[in-house]
Structure 1
Amino acid sequence: MLLIVQTAVPNRIQLALGEKSISATLDEEVGFHQSEVLLKLTEKFLRQARCTWQDVRGIIVALGPGGSFTALRLGVVMANTLAWSLKIPNVGVTGEKKTLQQLWEAGRKHLEASSRPVILQPHYGQPPSITKPKKK
């Protein structure tokens, strides 16, 4: 099974699983709670699809731009960590507002040519809007 992770859509987590085509999807409104629910939601999604982590043989992740800085980073970090720990290949797909199907089509081709995990980095599309602490 290939796992697709999309966190570049504002306030949402989107996941998909499939072999030759997408066979299961999840699209969850999570507000600003991506960091609290991403891994739990992914585990629940796998269970509902009757899959385990060992069934996942590759990961496709949206690299952005889009969504919040933190959510995008979390999706990419989770994909990198899972790929490394499961010893499976991972690929990233850039571009705004990619659907799960678009991620599948773009990522699957590259994933088939890859045999090991790589370190992916998010593409924010602009500098992060992080401010310096105010002086007291």
Structure 2
Amino acid sequence: MLLLAVDTATPAVTAALHDGASVLAETARVDARRHGELLLPAVDEVLAEAGVSLDAVTDLVVGVGPGPYTGLRVGLVTASTFASALGIPVHGVCTLDGLAYACGLKEPFVVATDARRKEVYWARYDASGARVSEPAVDRPADIAEQVAGLPAVGAGALLYPEVFSDARAPEHVSAGALASLAARKLAAGEEFLPPLPLYLRRPDAQVPKNYKVVTPK
């Protein structure tokens, strides 16, 4: 088994290789505006570090978000393209779950990433690290009662200390953690999410109300 994992759902552009037992190579760059420019070099970097070629990869793992439209699609399209070219499966993993796996907490906690517009993408987890709520997008003040007193992981928690009073590392998702989680799920025969974007918001660009359709006579 050789897993190639990528995630571009947050400002971190991250890639990793995993052999089913441990992470062989990993890289990450935090740059919210250069996902498309940075991801392929990141993949090349981890392949070179591990001393393997792309055609040795047996499975693709990709973070499906939630995340902003443009950045999130970079990772998904790249993973799907590789999977199609190589004839191998691509497994979707919730980006919040990757952060939860990496934090190592042994008590109930929250993961919150920056959704911009003064909102966070978030979900709650139990002491085993299992997600107990669906990913959501909200203003921090609107979920203050639901997250009160819980440790919180992720950049969204760091941005709003008045709500997430016990913010913890890591700040951004790690492709290494995503790959390790996927390897565990594969070994256990668990299902994955489809490699489709988890946006949670409607697109900004919408057809105006009272839009008139002009048809040829």
Quickly name the TM-score band, shorter chain normalised: 0.7 to 0.9
Q: Give the 5 Å matches for 1:24-43.
A: 24-43=25-44
Structure 1 runs of 4+ aligned residues shifted over 6 Å read: none
Q: Give the 5 Å matches for 1:68-107.
A: 68-96=68-96, 98=99, 99-100=173-174, 101-107=176-182
Return the alpha-carbon distance in structure 2 between the equivalents of residues 45 and 105 of structure 1.
15
**Deviation digits for residues 76-129 of structure 1 (CA, Å, limit 9, x no counterpart):** 111111011001111001243634354224322454659xxxx72111122233
> Which structure would you say has the larger RCO, counting Cα contacts within 8 Å and 6 or more residues apart?
1
Q: In the superposition, relative to structure 1, how do residues 2 and 75 fare at CA in structure 2: closer, same or farther (>3 Å)?
A: same
Normalised to the residue count of structure 1, the TM-score between the two structures is 0.78
Partner in structure 2 of residue 46 of structure 1: 47
**Deviation digits for residues 6-37 of structure 1 (CA, Å, limit 9, x no counterpart):** 11122x21111111111211011234011123
Partner in structure 2 of residue 128 of structure 1: 203
Which range moved further: 123-132 or 88-97?
123-132
Number of aligned residue pairs: give it: 128
Work out whether residues 65 and 94 of structure 1, in 8 Å CA contact, stay in contact via their aligned partners in 2: yes
Identity between Structure 1 and Structure 2 (%): 30
Q: In the superposition, relative to structure 1, how do residues 86 and 111 fare at CA in structure 2: closer, same or farther (>3 Å)?
A: farther
- Structure 1 unaligned segments of length 5 or more: list them: none
Residue identity opposite 1:107 in structure 2: A
Normalised to the residue count of structure 2, the TM-score between the two structures is 0.51
Work out whether residues 16 and 22 of structure 1, in 8 Å CA contact, stay in contact via their aligned partners in 2: yes
Structure with the greater alpha carbon radius of gyration: 2
**Deviation digits for residues 44-82 of structure 1 (CA, Å, limit 9, x no counterpart):** 33123212101211111100002x311111101111110
